[in-house]
Structure 1
Amino acid sequence: MTPEASVDLAGLGFTEGAHLLVQRALDGLPPGGRVTVHGRDPALRVHLPAWARGRGHRVESTDDGVAVVVRGDADDARWRGAERAGLAEPEDLRGRPPASWGLGVRGALLEKGGPEPMFDLDDKDLVWADIAPKLYAQAAARQWDPEQAVPWSAEFTLPPDVEAAVVQVMTYLVENEQAALIVPARFVGRIHPHFREVVQLLAVQMADEARHMSVFARRALLRGTEMGTSSAGGRSSLFTLVTESDFALASFLLSVLGEGTFVDLLAFLEHTAPDPVTRRICRLAGRDERRHVVFGMAHLAHQSTVDPGLKDRLRAAIHHRHDALMDTAGLNADVFDALVVLAAGSWAPDDIAAGHRRVQELQHVMDQGRQRRLVRLGFHADEAAALSALHTRNFM
């Protein structure tokens, strides 16, 4: 017997969504199945046949508000050869998704045909870290609004030279965060959407850096109208990050070495900040930056399990960057002096001496942190110390 169904559209017309009810009735039938359609819309006799033809179905009659639609097999043919783009959960990632999946959603049924965009970062081992989905969820939940989270209206007055030191440090921070935004931006469009949690995490990381740039610049101009100085050596150091085209090496240089060191700097600034605004923005930015470091470490730890040559490439990247920056002056002297002023808290000779020691201690803390991260990535302690010593004197 021919499978049959019926649907009553009442006064609903095809310009108002009647096709949804008809299609729902047809979906339960095989090709050749018949749906009796009842409806009062006067345009039904025109709209129903036109819609049915476009879907490969046939209408037998449209008399007195009643029509019979015979299901064709066009919809079945359309999805014949369709491919499921893997499974939806990140635990079931395909190691190397095909280009034919393109921009299709992971786990969706993909109609045959369509564009096949090329994503050169299409291998799980090149981009993945098992912690990525959890980190993305955490990052999305911990976004903060500068207007609400920072006490911009707090009353404080700093001596002009202390304020100038804050402005100089804030200028330096903005400059570094600009590079930290550009680096992931260069890779987001190259990663296969199958690994969407990594794309999402990098997108939030870019949002973090954009917000950091905004708050650091706003603090720099909170009491004046001019930013501080920018050294050629500092910009050269950052440029080596921006031009790195290898995702693993860029993550290593930026997140593991640079941002790891940056976290120590932000913690130092939070402790020595002479005002509540500076203290708060350094605390909030440091929290974000620690998350960036966690992903960089996790990604490289994953890649090291499948790429026995990774350590050699990481080692070479450090040496290459050191050689490229050998003739630069390193950290902007104005930044170093500003850090000393903030750490000193006054212009008394003993306080300046103490401030200078604290900045040197900061550099030691940065070095120790880099060494620990290098050891976690598989380097021997002695080599980790030697490699850390080659890291740019510009901190990032």
Structure 2
Amino acid sequence: MTVPALDLGDVGFDRGAHLLLRRELALLPVGGRLAVAGTDEALVVHLAAWCRREGHELLPGDERDGRVRAWVVRGRAGQDRWAGAERAGGSSPAGLIARPPAHWGLAARGALVESGGPAVPYDFDRKETVWSELAPKLYLQAVARQWDPVAAVAWDTPFELPAEIEAAVVQVMTYLVENEQAALVIPARLLARVHPHFREVTQLLAVQAADEARHVEVFTRRATLKGDELGTSSVGGRASLMSLLAEPDFSLASFLLSVLGEGSFLNLLSFLDRYAPDPVTRRIVTLAHQDEARHVAFGIAHLEEQARADPAFRGTLRGAIERRHDALADTAGINADVLDALTVLAAGEWSPAAIARGHAAVQVLQAEMLDGRRNRLVRLGFPADEAADLAALHTRNFM
């Protein structure tokens, strides 16, 4: 029987010889021999070290022809190099398990994970804590609907507004920037704490953070389109947003931010679309609305699945609303300058009748926000009367 041979020529282990060896040995059964020839001076020394590490046996070669330097006997360890290894979630990248172990770390889902190595702990490592069956679809949708602030908005569209109307736009944009900065930080913080096994969730959170960064950019750019000064930032508004940042739990942070806060912002953005005094403002709030609707959709889908699996979870959500309400009870709520600016935008002019109409429109907006929160709470399984009571406890800062 002819013994297989591998002639490496002058290629040593410093130039990839191990790849050729591993390929040839993979063709042999355990105990099979491979003659190794080559002219590299360090070949035998390096071959001996490699065989020890790979679990093969090395036998002295026959130097009579000046080429066979050694014989390698394939060992079982070489065949079972990945013995004891496990797939990260199964044989397919689509596979998911309920609680991936910490030692999988950053391994790709579906990869063969070598045994050993450091454990990388993640705060959110349970499927029910972060997952939604809608997450993969929403991620693909989010990627497809990204937009470029430069190309998507005609910033050079000519328009001139009365000074008071422009000032109202600037104040509202200042308020939006402040809130969107909080909405940027929260998903950015959460995604770093999610086990990478749930990659669609981390990808979706990353895109959500990118969405909010883009919103901060366009709202700032609109605020400074006609001048350099921004509006005001109230203590009550900042306190309300800080209470969001203080929530460490994934589901509760998603609930307070996406379902209640950003859900209310959908109404606000629709209001601004309706009463926008210029085409640039109307365009940016329309673009922001499509992004925020996706954020709300993920929050609702995730929490609906949790509430179905554990009816007691609604008590946790109720507690989060009540704690935040109590923490903000002594604050002033939304910046009065923002309410006045919204009134001016809805009025469009300074006549008493117009201002009265603008004030009424803002009251309708707040009622729509309340109804929206109530409806979303009903979707999560709350009885209608309890949902109405909890919706009314939401921060007066809208977000």
SS of corresponding position for 1:214: helix
CA contact (8 A) 2:93 2:109 kept: no
Amino acid at match of 1:94: I
Q: Deviations over 1:222-264 (max 9, x none)?
A: 2211211000000111111100112111111111000001111
Alpha-carbon distance change, 48 to 263 in structure 1, aligned in 2, over 3 angstroms: farther
- Look up the match of 2:123: 120
Q: Deviations over 1:248-292 (max 9, x none)?
A: 111111110000011111121122212222111111111111111
Q: Does 1:50 align with 2:53?
A: no
Correspondences of 1:136-285 after superposition (within 5 Å): 136-285=139-288
Q: Deviations over 1:22-44 (max 9, x none)?
A: 432222323333445677xx64x
- In 2, Cα distance between the equivalents of 1:365 and 1:114? 54
SS of corresponding position for 2:42: helix
Correspondences of 1:1-396 after superposition (within 5 Å): 5=4, 17=16, 19-35=18-34, 43=40, 45-47=41-43, 50=46, 53-54=49-50, 55-56=53-54, 57=56, 58=58, 61=61, 70=72, 71-76=74-79, 78-87=81-90, 89=92, 92-396=95-399
Alpha-carbon distance change, 390 to 52 in structure 1, aligned in 2, over 3 angstroms: same
SS of corresponding position for 1:305: helix
Q: Which piece of structure 1 moves more, 14-23 or 189-198?
A: 14-23
- In 2, Cα distance between the equivalents of 1:366 and 1:286? 14
Q: Deviations over 1:167-224 (max 9, x none)?
A: 1111111110111112222222222222111111111111111111111112111221
Amino acid at match of 2:190: F
CA contact (8 A) 2:98 2:127 kept: yes
Alpha-carbon distance change, 376 to 18 in structure 1, aligned in 2, over 3 angstroms: same
TM superposition shift of 1:120: 2.6
CA contact (8 A) 1:99 1:119 kept: yes
**TM-score (norm. length: structure 2):** 0.90
Q: Deviations over 1:287-332 (max 9, x none)?
A: 1111110110011011112223211111111111111111111111
TM superposition shift of 1:132: 0.7
Amino acid at match of 1:50: H
CA contact (8 A) 2:95 2:109 kept: no
Amino acid at match of 1:334: D
Q: Which piece of structure 1 moves more, 285-294 or 18-27?
A: 18-27
Q: CA RMSD in A?
A: 2.5
Structure 2 alignment gaps of length 5 or more:
none
Alpha-carbon distance change, 363 to 48 in structure 1, aligned in 2, over 3 angstroms: farther
- In 1, Cα distance between the equivalents of 2:48 and 2:162? 79
- In 1, Cα distance between the equivalents of 2:373 and 2:71? 71
- In 1, Cα distance between the equivalents of 2:276 and 2:43? 71
TM superposition shift of 1:337: 0.9
Alpha-carbon distance change, 90 to 378 in structure 1, aligned in 2, over 3 angstroms: farther
SS of corresponding position for 1:105: coil
- In 1, Cα distance between the equivalents of 2:208 and 2:161? 33
- In 2, Cα distance between the equivalents of 1:83 and 1:257? 41
TM superposition shift of 1:11: 8.0
- In 2, Cα distance between the equivalents of 1:146 and 1:12? 54
- Alignment length, in residue pairs? 392
CA contact (8 A) 2:334 2:397 kept: yes
TM superposition shift of 1:53: 3.0
- In 2, Cα distance between the equivalents of 1:305 and 1:363? 30
CA contact (8 A) 1:177 1:213 kept: yes
- In 1, Cα distance between the equivalents of 2:192 and 2:284? 30
**TM-score (norm. length: structure 1):** 0.90
Alpha-carbon distance change, 274 to 68 in structure 1, aligned in 2, over 3 angstroms: farther
Q: Which piece of structure 1 moves more, 21-30 or 71-80?
A: 71-80
- In 2, Cα distance between the equivalents of 1:222 and 1:14? 63
CA contact (8 A) 1:259 1:293 kept: yes
Q: Which piece of structure 1 moves more, 208-217 or 79-88?
A: 79-88
Q: Deviations over 1:52-95 (max 9, x none)?
A: 63253547548666666523444445423222222265764211
SS of corresponding position for 2:358: helix
